[in-house]
Amino acid sequence: MDILTQQLINGLVLGSIYALVALGYTMVYGILELINFAHGEVTMFGAMICLAVIGALAGSGTGLNGGTIVLLGLLAAIAVCMAMGFLIERIAYRPLRRAPRLAALITAIGMSIVLQNLAMLIWGRQYITFPPLLPLVRYELAGAVITNLQIFIMMLSCLLMIGLLMLVHKTRLGRAMRATAQAQDIAGLMGINTNTIISVTFVIGAALAAVAGVMVSAYYGLAHYYMGFMLGLKAFTAAVLGGIGNIAGAMLGGLLLGVIESLGAGYIGDLTGGFLGSNYQDVFAFFVLILVLIVRPSGLLGERVAERA
């Protein structure tokens, strides 16, 4: 089996999930200049709700086939997460729109803690497994193995990203979003209801996060109330890597981070003569991030450096 191709495939799958989550961070940052720390938790809720629905439907003997059940779970997760995104913005961020940015950062952290512990109260501390509802098919590709699930994840992410780009660049709503990101007050003067636009941004980001959460739990077969934290961190890293506030940058950053991580984990043992093992995978991601930011402080595709601290 060809290790390079295999790690590339794994990296691209992981990266497309990172990219979906990173989009939520970057869209919110582009408009509000706020790190939405609770975004990772929304992803976790997406996974948990999907698993709860699947668990309820698969056990009750409704006679639905596996694919339909997973689809229903996914739709339920998207719906709940969209509502969550809306409520998070309303409760924790809107009252602080004109406050110093660190204050909003603290409410974001508070929101993240609340959601994490809420999930722990509802679903407990144990790992929840994804039931084997979908038949796993393995294909041979250039000496590596790729599963139908991996293909599905990559294709769905691609579709969603293309859809988002179309939405932002081709529709009226997208134009309003870009205007709000550029100058909120001026956009308001032009007749755009900026509050609605900000809410819509949060809702879209949350929907993408829900899809990503379901993908992660299906891919690894597990979900846990703590999973959102590291995933959110990686996704935010990806967003910064690509240039935060830039939608195409988030996609590029996510894919790149996924590939770097898998290649790093696959080769670090050989490169260092066995001194460092694959448990340094996370170091690798952060190390690359720091290097990129030192060479190019605004990220790969970012245009402007944030002036205000």
Partner 1 sequence: MTSLSQRWQQWRHDRRAVWLVYIALAMLLAALPFLTGAALGRGWVRILDFTLLYVMLALGLNIVVGYAGLLDLGYIAFYAVGAYMYALLASPHFDLHLPFWALLPLGAGLAGIFGILLGAPTLRLRGDYLAIVTLGFGEIIRIFLNNLNAPVNITNGPQGVNLIDPVAFGGFSLSQPHEFFGVRFPGLYAYYYLFLALALLMIFVSLRLQNSRIGRAWVAIREDEVAAEAMGINTRNIKLLAFAMGATFAGISGGLFAGFQGFISPESFNLFESIIILCMIVLGGMGNIPGVILGAVLLTVFPEALRYLGELQHYLFGRILVDPSDLRMLIFGLALILIMIFRPAGLLPSVRRRREFGSDASVLAQEQASLYDTQR
Binding site for partner 1 (CB under 8 A): 29, 33, 35, 91-92, 95-96, 98-100, 102-107, 109-114, 116-118, 120-121, 185, 233, 236-237, 240, 244, 274-277, 279-280, 282-283, 286-287, 289-290, 293-294, 297-299, 305-309
Closest contact distance (angstroms) between CB of 219 and partner 1 is 23
Q: Is 200 exposed, middle or buried (0-12, 13-18, 19+ CB in 10 A)?
A: buried
Which C-beta is closer to partner 1: that of 91 or that of 190?
Answer: 91
Name which of 190 and 283 has its Cβ closer to partner 1.
Answer: 283
Supply the minimum distance, in Å, between the C-beta of residue 235 and partner 1.
12
**Closest separation between CB of residue 125 and partner 1, Å?**
9
Residue 190, CA atoms < 13 Å, CB-side half-sphere: 14
Q: How far is the CB of 158 from partner 1 (least distance, A)?
A: 26
Rank residues 48 and 74 by Cβ distance to partner 1 and give the closer one.
Answer: 48
**CB of 172 or CB of 304, closer to partner 1:** 304
Q: Which is nearer to partner 1, 105 or 179 (CB)?
A: 105
Least separation in angstroms between residue 274's CB and partner 1 is 7
Nearer to partner 1, 5 or 298 (CB): 298
The HSE-up count of residue 160 (CA atoms within 13 Å, CB side) is 25
Which 3-state string (H, E, C) describes the chain?
CCHHHHHHHHHHHHHHHHHHHHHHHHHHHHHHCCCCCCHHHHHHHHHHHHHHHHHHHHHCCCCCCHHHHHHHHHHHHHHHHHHHHHHHHHHHHHHHCCCCHHHHHHHHHHHHHHHHHHHHHHHCCCCEECCCCCCCCEEEECCEEEEHHHHHHHHHHHHHHHHHHHHHHHCHHHHHHHHHHHCHHHHHHCCCCHHHHHHHHHHHHHHHHHHHHHHHHHHHCEECCCHHHHHHHHHHHHHHHHCCCCHHHHHHHHHHHHHHHHHHHHHHHHHCCCCCCHHHHHHHHHHHHHHHHHHCCCCCCCCCCCCCC
User: Least distance from C-beta 117 to partner 1, angstroms?
Assistant: 4
Question: Could you count the other beta carbons within 10 Å of the beta carbon of residue 173?
Answer: 16
Smaller CB separation from partner 1, 49 or 111: 111
52 φ/ψ angles, rounded to the nearest 5 degrees: -65, -45
Nearer to partner 1, 7 or 116 (CB): 116
